[in-house]
Amino acid sequence: MRTTSARGGLERSRSRQTRQRLDAAEARRNELLRCGTPRADPGCRVTVRYISQVLRAFPPEAGVCADAGGLRAGDGRAASCGVNLVQPEDDPVAVRDFSLQLSMLDFLHGLHPTVRSRCTPGELVQGLVPPETLRFHVRDSIRRGHAQFASATATDIMHEDDPIALLREMAAKKDPGRGRSDAARI
């Protein structure tokens, strides 16, 4: 995966372009708000975070380039929150390539461990996808996709294999952005 995207320069090009756009936007914001001056606007104290979106219903090769570019652009950048897979989870391509997408996130997470991924699983319900899809979707997103998400989005969690153990696992994980997992409140 990495060889294909890096050989074509797509990963490096995307991350460089992303960093340039973010730097330009932040510089313009600082200029408009007079950040770093005695007359700085209170808006200068607002923390801004960025999440790179990857379209899960696109072909895998587009996804790996977007994943890699987003992770690389965010690696070491304080304002970067991470990468988020978006588009409907029940899209036929998203369902078909789910395991592959998690494998890509897992691989790339090993290269860029400080950047978080958000698969935001849990929007599937019976009737939208084959029943067997509901048995592992949330668990695999957490374990293989390194997903961190609010459990409130996991409407399908009770269809998982051993959902109570999964909820306990989620509660045990601390979300650095919130101090604890939303699952701890269940």
Q: Closest Cα to residue 121, out of 105, 104, 140?
A: 140
Given a cut of 60, is residue 181 above it in pLDDT? no
pLDDT confidence of residue 183: 40
Question: 145: which residues sit within 8 A by CB, 6+ positions away?
Answer: 85, 101, 102, 105, 106, 117, 119, 121
Lowest mean pLDDT among 94-98, 135-139, 182-186: 182-186
30-47, pLDDT tens digit by residue?
A: 999 999 999 999 999 998
Q: By the 8 A CB rule, do 83 and 51 touch?
A: yes
Given a cut of 60, is residue 160 above it in pLDDT? yes
Q: Are strands 80-86 and 116-118 parallel, antiparallel or unpaired?
A: parallel
Domain boundaries, the chain: 49-185
Take residue 62 and report the two structure tokens written for it: 């587009």
Given a cut of 60, is residue 175 above it in pLDDT? no
